[in-house]
Amino acid sequence: MKLKGRVAIVTGASSGIGRGIALELAQEGAKVVVSDITEVPKQGKYHEQDTTTPTVAEIEKLGGEGIFVAADVSAESQVSALVKASIDGFGRLDILVNNAGIYFDTGAVTTSSEDWDRLIGINLKGVFLGVKYALPHLRQSPAGRVINIASVHSFGGGGGPAYASAKAGVLNMTRDTAVEAASDGVTANTICPGYIETAIQDALTPDQVELANKMTPLPRLGLPRDIGRAAVFFASDDAQWVTGTALPVDGGLLAPVMPGY
């Protein structure tokens, strides 16, 4: 087991990518603090239609140990309480996975200021708050890790001004954290998923889902487990000299000059 004895927080972990990450970390021996707005998993119209069991229950089926802590990552007091609950529950913190996020793709003219603030608050400010309160504890770990979940939209337009901006911001925040925390041996890296089969894709139309499938060179769409395995790498000793990087896990989506051609 690559992560035996280590403790991880994974935000947005009741379903989707966060759930996939939490399960893979647990499979490798980590104790996982599962955090989300609600413990009930989301069910999607395209994907995750049959996801009903709480993530902690699935971790326990694997023989692992986990606890659920409800938190809105855009609320500073709740993030502070999340980190405290993790330390109270397991006595240490080694891995922080900032995954929680929302999505909508309205344009600059049609996006309200309130919706902009809400998305930036969760997708970008939430990452900052996670690092702010977790970093003092990660510095005490012999293997402190920050793993931020961004997107292929970090590298270009598309996805709406709020989403693309937030995910690009996550990339540079990760680099900044990598520089700040390096002297204490803490690493910080970003995973940039392509299309992953989760309930967040409900915002798309069937034609958009089919287009994403066509534009992905490898002959399937991504699964939460694919992101989970990348997170295991960054969390493990295999990546102890890797920091400040951004890893696309996208089935080759960013590789072609003319996607889908």
* Residues classed as catalytic: 163
SS3 helix, strand, coil % of the chain, rounded to 5?
45, 15, 40
Give kind and range of the element (H or E) at residue 118: helix 113-120
- Residue 21's alpha-carbon distances to 16, 24, 90, in angstroms, are 9, 5, 19
Residue 28 dihedral angles phi and psi, to the nearest 5°: -95, 10
Give kind and range of the element (H or E) at residue 154: none
- Residue 247's alpha-carbon distances to 24, 74, 114, 122, 235, in angstroms, are 18, 25, 31, 21, 14
